[in-house]
Amino acid sequence: MRTRVARLYGAHDLRVEEQEVGPPGKGEVLLRMAAGGICGSDLHYYQDGGFGPVRVREPIICGHEAAGHVIAAGEGVDIAPGTLVAVNPSQPCGACEYCLRDMLVHCLDMHFIGSAMRMPHEQGMFRDLFVVPAIQAHPLPEGVTEAEAACAEPLAVCLHAVAQARDLLGDLTGLRVLISGAGPIGLLVLAAARHAGARDIIVTDLTDAALARARVMGAGQTINVATDPEALAPLQRDKGQIDLIFDCSAAGPALRAAFAAIRPRGTIIQVGVTGDIAIPLNALVGKEITWRGSQRFHAEFAEAVDLIGSRQIDLRPIISHRLPLERAREAFDLASDRSLACKVQLTFATEDAS
């Protein structure tokens, strides 16, 4: 069989091509892909050829947040044809030092679909047909849309970020929380924090469109720091008024504002990533701030699928655009414009290619 793929050759060089796909082997499933979300790392690959030390060094099929329908199962797989599944892109080795210490997110031999970290690159899911180990395919119940299913991966990222906060602080109920950045990740952190019991949540961003979505997702207060920066002042008085901050922007001004707004001995969870950046080290030390990073997920993927399946977290408001695979370049350009778009997804062929 032949399948179309969206393959990136370098910055702004994204091509829709065809390649062969074989049948599923033992323990595998063949999926007809249904929806795939364009992530921030996909945009870094497309816009800049990579981020930090991670560079596109050979052609790569993008896409690591996706869902599809099972059309064939290999030996030993008990998933019925037609089942909608979300694909967990993460496959830790299970045998390295960190896997054996139950820190699988830090696996030394991690395979992650659609990632340029390894050579050869791990090819991604922006394609019509895809073979994947069945252990990475998580079924969803009837009634869940393909678009929702494809959001399991970014929701898992955000559940892991909230888990970092709960590990440090315990119950989030009663805490005053600020989320910096209302892109897809910031909005899903908002949803995950509310699910964990947080209610007093402030969201900041540079665009009114993003902040409108934050209010729909349950933010109690929103601040446009581009048009109303003085609104941050009350949050920064008396050494800071915020107990917990999730920084989803990784922007220098946002981080400086976060260090000013956090209370002494408050906690900042770093979700957004960037390259080297200046930080107010004096505030980190002087206020005895806890600043913890958060990357990826492990057990949270299954949790995300359950929460989506039960609609305990309704993430449909973040899905702003869906374009077919043949318009992949247009979709990537659209996803780059945060004044217009939130979560942009690609859709795929509804019938097998031949």
CA 328 – CA 322 distance, rounded (Å): 10
Classify residue 247 as exposed, middle or buried by CB count within 10 Å of its CB (0-12, 13-18, 19+). buried
E-strand stretches of 89-136: 90-91, 111-112, 129-133
Domain chopping of the chain, boundaries = 2-151+315-347, 155-293
Residues 34, 84 contacting (CB under 8 angstroms): yes
pLDDT at 173 over 70: yes
Q: What is the mean pLDDT of residues 106-117?
A: 96
> CATH homologous superfamily for 155-293?
NAD(P)-binding Rossmann-like Domain (3.40.50.720)
CA 205 – CA 137 distance, rounded (Å): 34
Question: What residue type is assigned to position 340 of the chain?
Answer: L
3-state class percentages of the chain: helix first, strand second, coil last, to nearest 5? 30, 30, 40
Give percent of the chain with pLDDT exceeding 90: 94
Tell me the pLDDT tens digit for each residue of 177-227.
999 999 999 999 999 999 999 999 999 999 999 999 999 999 999 999 999
CA 299 – CA 101 distance, rounded (Å): 14
Q: Residue 130 CA to chain centroid, in angstroms?
A: 20
Cβ-count burial 55-83 (b if 16+ within 10 Å, e if not)? ebeeebbbbbbbbbbbebbbeebeeeeeb
pLDDT at 352 over 60: no
Model confidence at 276, in pLDDT bands (50, 70, 90)? confident
CA 40 – CA 206 distance, rounded (Å): 17
Question: How crowded is residue 164: how many other Cβ atoms within 10 Å of its Cβ?
Answer: 18
Residues 345, 322 contacting (CB under 8 angstroms): yes
* 59's tokens: 């052609």
Whole-structure pTM value = 0.95
Q: What is the mean pLDDT of residues 26-51?
A: 95
Residues 286, 239 contacting (CB under 8 angstroms): no
**What pLDDT does residue 354 have?**
31
**What pLDDT does residue 350 have?**
61
**What pLDDT does residue 267 have?**
98
Tell me the pLDDT tens digit for each residue of 63-78.
999 999 999 999 999 9
Residue 153, SS3 per DSSP = helix
Tell me the pLDDT tens digit for each residue of 220-256.
999 999 999 999 999 999 999 999 999 999 899 999 9
The per-type count for the chain, helices as H runs and strands as E runs, is: 11, 20
* 309's tokens: 């399946």
DSSP per-residue string spanning 184-220: HHHHHHHHHHHHTT--EEEEEES-HHHHHHHHHTT-S
Among 177, 35, 160, smallest CA distance to 104 is for 160
CA 246 – CA 225 distance, rounded (Å): 16
* Same topology between domain 2-151+315-347 and domain 155-293: no
- If you classify domain 2-151+315-347 with CATH, what class do you get? alpha beta
pLDDT at 58 over 80: yes
Cβ-count burial 289-325 (b if 16+ within 10 Å, e if not)? bbbeebebbbebbebbbebbbeeebebebbbbbbbeb
Q: What is the mean pLDDT of residues 28-44?
A: 96
Q: What is the mean pLDDT of residues 89-102?
A: 97
Tell me the pLDDT tens digit for each residue of 114-129.
999 999 999 999 999 9
